[in-house]
């Protein structure tokens, strides 16, 4: 337990696990959130509020299907609007979870342990939100399956040159692998919950979900190699998914989209927004569930460093885009660069300059990184910034392209906002349920951490779970 003044003055490396933790204490602290504690008023408020937003989403989607995508503000030339902005934003958020659990696993980062579980859950819910939009934005949603390669008597296949088809594969693969990876990681904990549960029905549910996990050596041996393999499988997907989303744009020839920098830039932006979301969710959660010993300042500091690194890549990409606008000598490129800065949507450009460029620079400062409330605010600002960045990419590029006679504007409607708010509500709603039903931190891995750190007494420079040897 540390107080604020100590945090501000103490310059030592914070532990990944506060001292004094035992196997039993971590199990209880994490497991009790689900099994023992009654949900507080705040939780109920959150669930009811987000359920309201889910209802709004259902209404917005129903009306959309009844009337058509015309209820949104999209038009010709801006035929993609909030739906695609939201899609890219959610997919981006969905990156951090798998990045944390798979990439950091492979890179033997011990601090991932406390945050990988909820980050992965966040990934799943974010990808679920993201996955809605490509369907919803279709003019004829009831024909969405035309995009899937299925055998049919007409011998009709999707048009494989279109990045939208790659998107389907990329997102669905990512969702599948993330789900399996998350679930496999859950198995030992589900067994723990089964064992700790008092109520018979709850026991039965967790028993079913635990799929007969008994914790034998054989189980552990197979479990750990499977987990590692899945980690290896998931890691490249982190790169591929948002690269493909980047290619959705790079594959087009619209100035502002037609750029080879987009795939890496999108990946960096995705991790940027993903880590921001980890902080946005983790900071309140650690406070609400009393998990400050497990999600320590070390975690927050590391996340902030990731924000800094990816943020700098994003900033570099902004710079390169502007540079290429001038250096290419291309009429349209230079125009779109100018149009972003001084066109009718200049507010959005300058907003992302503030959120993603200026704000990021504060993260150079250790005191900022370790200031929990401030980090929450910064993470929130970055969320807003990353959403706006996608707005800049989608809308500004489309609204004024080649032929000035076809220039236009995009004004979002109530239903645009309703759908965005609805998915945020859906995401949070899922997260509230998750926090009450599943251990938000991996108990088994935390116990391993207790073991390897000797109860958090000392922190080895390079720690990794035993199976990564």
**Contacts to other proteins by CB under 8 A:** 67-70, 73-80, 137-141, 143-144, 146-147, 156-159, 161-165, 168, 251-254, 329, 331-332, 334-335, 338-339, 342-344, 398, 400-409, 411
Kindly tell me which of 208 and 331 has the beta carbon lying closer to other proteins.
Answer: 331
Distance CA(24)–CA(314), nearest Å, equals 43
CA 98 to chain centre: 9
Shortest separation between residue 68's beta carbon and other proteins, angstroms: 5
- Min dist CB 62 to other proteins, Å, is 16
Instruction: Decide whether 155 or 199 has the Cβ nearer to other proteins.
Output: 155
DSSP state of 101: I
**Minimum gap (Å) between residue 156 Cβ and other proteins:** 7
Give me the sign of the Cα torsion angle 340, 345, 350, 353. negative
- Whichever of 212 and 404 has its CB closer to other proteins, that residue is 404
Helices (H), 36-149: 41-67, 82-98, 104-106, 113-136
Q: Cβ closer to other proteins: 144 or 323?
A: 144
- Which residues, including other chains, have CB under 8 Å from residue 236's CB and lie 6 or more apart? none
Q: Closest distance between other proteins and the C-beta of residue 350, in Å?
A: 14
Q: Which is nearer to other proteins, 278 or 418 (CB)?
A: 418
User: Least CB distance from residue 12 to other proteins, whole Å?
Assistant: 53
Closest alpha carbon to 127 in 168, 186, 77: 168
Classify residue 80 by its DSSP letter: -
State the CB neighbour count (10 A cutoff) for residue 358: 13
Rounded-to-integer distance, Cα 317 and Cα 266, Å: 9
Q: Which distant-in-sequence residues (6+ apart) come within 8 Å of 449 by Cβ?
A: 16, 17, 26, 110, 113, 114, 456, 463
Q: Based on CB atoms, which residue is closest to other proteins, 73 or 274?
A: 73
- In contact, 90 and 430? CB cutoff 8 Å: no
> Based on CB atoms, which residue is closest to other proteins, 58 or 65?
65
Q: Min. distance of Cβ 411 from other proteins in angstroms?
A: 8
Nearer to other proteins, 298 or 340 (CB): 340
* Residue 156 vs 358, nearer CB to other proteins: 156
Among the listed residues 172, 82, 178, the one whose alpha carbon sits nearest the alpha carbon of residue 133? 82
> Smallest distance, Å, CB 256 to other proteins?
11
Output the smallest distance, CB 346 to other proteins, in A: 8
Q: What is the DSSP string of 379-418?
A: HHHHHHHHHHHHHIIIIIHHHS-S-GGG-------HHHHH
Residue 336 is encoded by which pair of tokens?
């779109």
d(Cα 305, Cα 153) in Å, to the nearest integer?
54
Both structure tokens of 255: 């100035």
Shortest reach from residue 335's CB to other proteins, in Å:
7
Pick 9 or 159: Cβ nearer other proteins: 159
Nearest-approach distance from CB 398 to other proteins, in angstroms: 6
Q: Which residue has the tokens 């489309």?
A: 398
Q: Are 19 and 12 in contact (CB under 8 A)?
A: no
d(CA 360, CA 446): 31
């Amino acid at each position: 337990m540390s107080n604020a003044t100590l945090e501000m003055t103490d310059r030592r490396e914070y532990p990944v696990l506060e001292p004094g933790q035992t196997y039993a204490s971590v199990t209880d602290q994490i497991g009790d959130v689900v099994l023992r504690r009654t949900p507080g008023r705040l939780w109920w408020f959150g669930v009811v509020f987000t359920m309201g937003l889910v209802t709004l989403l259902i209404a917005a989607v129903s009306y959309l299907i009844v009337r058509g995508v015309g209820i949104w503000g999209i038009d010709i030339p801006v035929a993609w609007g909030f739906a695609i902005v939201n899609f890219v934003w959610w997919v981006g958020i969905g990156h951090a979870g798998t990045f944390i659990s798979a990439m950091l696993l492979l890179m033997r980062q011990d601090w991932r342990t406390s945050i990988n579980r909820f980050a992965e859950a966040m990934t799943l819910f974010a990808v679920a939100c993201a996955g809605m939009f490509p369907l919803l934005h279709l003019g004829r949603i009831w024909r969405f399956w035309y995009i899937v390669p299925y055998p049919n008597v007409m011998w009709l296949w999707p048009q494989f040159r279109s990045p939208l088809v790659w998107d389907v594969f990329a997102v669905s693969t990512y969702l599948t692998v993330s789900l399996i990876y998350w679930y496999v990681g859950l198995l030992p904990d589900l067994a723990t919950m089964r064992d700790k549960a008092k109520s018979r029905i709850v026991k039965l549910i967790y028993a079913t979900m635990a799929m007969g996990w008994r914790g034998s050596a054989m189980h552990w041996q197979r479990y750990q190699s499977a987990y590692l393999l899945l980690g290896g499988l998931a890691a490249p997907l982190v790169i591929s998914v948002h690269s493909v989303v980047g290619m959705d744009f790079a594959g087009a020839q619209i100035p502002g989209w037609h750029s080879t920098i987009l795939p890496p830039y999108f990946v960096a932006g995705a991790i940027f927004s993903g880590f921001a979301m980890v902080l946005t969710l983790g900071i309140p959660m650690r406070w609400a569930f009393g998990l400050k010993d497990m999600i320590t300042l070390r975690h927050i500091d590391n996340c902030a460093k990731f924000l800094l690194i990816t943020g700098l890549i994003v900033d570099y990409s902004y710079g390169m885009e502007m540079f290429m606008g001038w250096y290419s000598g291309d009429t349209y490129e230079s125009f779109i660069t100018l149009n972003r800065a001084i066109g009718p949507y200049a507010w959005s450009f300058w907003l992302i300059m503030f959120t993603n460029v200026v704000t990021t620079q504060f993260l150079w400062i250790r005191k900022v990184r370790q200031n929990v409330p401030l980090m929450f605010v910064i993470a929130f600002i970055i969320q807003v910034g990353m959403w706006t960045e996608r707005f800049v990419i989608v809308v500004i590029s489309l609204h004024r392209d080649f032929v000035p006679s076809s220039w236009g504007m995009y004004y979002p409607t109530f239903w645009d906002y309703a759908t965005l708010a609805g998915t945020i509500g859906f995401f949070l709603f899922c997260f509230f349920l998750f926090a009450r039903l599943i251990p938000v931190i991996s108990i088994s891995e935390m116990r391993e951490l207790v073991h390897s750190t000797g109860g958090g007494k000392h922190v080895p420079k390079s720690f990794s779970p035993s199976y990564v040897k």
